[in-house]
Structure 1
């Protein structure tokens, strides 16, 4: 077995190590997304994986590949959250010390989950790359084994086991869309697919706000981007790995990017239509498909939903913005006379227009408002954008001057 390159033997060994550890996640046919996209769409639900993402596969394979002396030194890693949990869990199973450096702004849920698996968490920097630099500094002092989040052959081999499951469950798959950050997931899946079934079209998908691997792929050499401006923190990597890039350049057929609005809409559609919760990184593949970033048509397509560890506050914002964008949630303000019955009259007009009142704010002391008048802010649940226009028309007819605000 070649030590300096990825082989199918390494991937099969990783699969054997993961028996009883990583879940064989469902491959779910989606009628909804098949109709929306004009393809036969199957969702590989790694958001249902142990620790909430695919990362346990690579992390566990790496940790279990270590010899006795390395285990005695413990392990250290840098991660925005999912790799952190995977390494922490693997270290706990192996009974070895574990330190994880996470960005200072990492979701609290991911920090707590990592600590819950027994790891020491150090918060440093504003993103993955700063956390990585700190982890390397700590490693140089402690001598612990560094478990890289993506640029490691044992980690890549672990992620590649997803491809084995895909081909066993859907042997006639024609295309696979895979999220990309540093490239470990895409490199592993693409390599295994091309080795077993070269005809499968492999498409990498990255967030527009952190397009390091996309730029590297398009320009033909490793590229580092200045910033990582995306809420998909799991793939917000400014510099991809050289190991993963070489595999991706060799095995990936197409590479596309999606913006945060497109990612958010995919999260919302998965939640509402399929009752599936995914994080930003996990939704990019589906976002590319439903927003026509690829030329796939009438193709049997698998989409890897790589993780489900989304911060609940982020999810709340996505839901509210998504509802507002589709006209199912609106905030209006208007002026009423400050006397008994005025608010009731306003709300009666809203009720007659068929809107549901979620909240009301009545302000009679705002400096810009004339005496004997009050500003009323309404948060309404509506059916669609046309319904909002109907509500505004009814209020205008009743003598109000309504204004939409955010």
Structure 2
């Protein structure tokens, strides 16, 4: 399928300078509670505050000169758009980012700060993708998918190389799950390095498109819903090329966590470890605290991003309720 370790290693070499090799640190408070070492992979320390820079940088670096001159477009729930905008700015490529109206304003402002053109459209990632498709047809832009793109997946897979180089005795990697680029990439690389390793995906309870598609045995449409884990929203495309099969073949399990559990995960990361994590980045810790993970040795949690609204972070840290759609959530 084109996801050999050699290809992942080449992607890792190529993205150096745009993406960082991030720290892997033990969270002693969680290790003590779990009875096993809990290690946090801090993708929050990437230049854009999220892991998405790996895949976006790799995809843009692989473009030929003609495609670079025409420009790129993508749809996003926030972090992918920021990553594409960041990489495009550094490479001198024009970028247009299509966002649904569910994307929080803090993420929109972060993308705008990178100099990209922003288009707001509709109430779902599917709506944003339709606008991106229109711009591909009419303007000749190259679409950089947030997940279902070979070079994006290879970029995300570089996390597995770093994890198992630094900690070869890992028994499990816990990965936030949206469209499956991160889970599929990490799983296909990690299983080639260490076939016995367990790779678990975690998503929010409502609107978990990949989780529900895997249950159904084929890609399905799932209605999006407001969530603290807003970066995990969006569909996986009914014509999914890559990530559904990767997740089906290489991930061991996918789990769901409630909004209250996500809130507690965000709060625990801040209070115990002094780490800011957006809801999507805290779902692994949420599953740990909820007792939903099977632990049998050192476990790595991908803390995938920190780009939450500041007022939301402050409220969660203080234990105050936060609005999610039409309801208030508290841990």
TM-score, reference length from structure 2: 0.93
Residue 169 of structure 2, aligned match among 163, 168, 172:
172
Q: How does 1:187-202 map to 2 (within 5 A)?
A: 187-202=184-199
* Structure 1 position 289 matched with structure 2 position 288: yes
* Structure 1 position 274 matched with structure 2 position 273: yes
Deviation at 1:94, TM superposition (A): 1.3
Deviation at 1:229, TM superposition (A): 3.7
Q: How does 1:106-255 map to 2 (within 5 A)?
A: 106-239=103-236, 241-255=240-254
Deviation at 1:201, TM superposition (A): 0.6
Question: Take 1:107 and 1:181, find their aligned partners in 2: how far apart are those partners?
Answer: 17
TM-score, reference length from structure 1: 0.76
Residue 22 of structure 1, aligned match among 14, 19, 24:
19
Question: Take 1:324 and 1:52, find their aligned partners in 2: how far apart are those partners?
Answer: 25
Question: Take 2:300 and 2:185, find their aligned partners in 1: how far apart are those partners?
Answer: 15
Deviation at 1:238, TM superposition (A): 2.9
Q: How does 1:60-139 map to 2 (within 5 A)?
A: 60-139=57-136
Q: Specify the SS of the correspondent of 1:203.
A: strand
Offset from partner CA, 1:59-86 (integer Å, 9 cap, x none)? 0000010111111110001111100111
Question: Take 1:175 and 1:98, find their aligned partners in 2: how far apart are those partners?
Answer: 37
Question: Take 1:90 and 1:52, find their aligned partners in 2: how far apart are those partners?
Answer: 13
RMSD: 1.6
Equivalences, count: 320
Q: Which runs of 5+ in 1 are unaligned?
A: 326-406
Deviation at 1:158, TM superposition (A): 0.1
Q: Structure 1 residues 324 and 160, CA, compared in 2 at 3 Å: closer, same or farther? A: closer
* Range that drifts further, 127-136 or 82-91: 127-136
Indicate if the aligned counterparts of 2:281 and 2:302 stay in contact, CA closer than 8 A.
yes
Indicate if the aligned counterparts of 1:222 and 1:242 stay in contact, CA closer than 8 A.
no
Question: Take 2:218 and 2:321, find their aligned partners in 1: how far apart are those partners?
Answer: 41
Offset from partner CA, 1:114-160 (integer Å, 9 cap, x none)? 12212111111223222112111122111100000000010000000
Q: Which runs of 5+ in 2 are unaligned?
A: 323-331
Q: Specify the SS of the correspondent of 1:255.
A: strand
Indicate if the aligned counterparts of 2:99 and 2:125 stay in contact, CA closer than 8 A.
yes
Return the index of the structure with the highest Cα Rg: 1
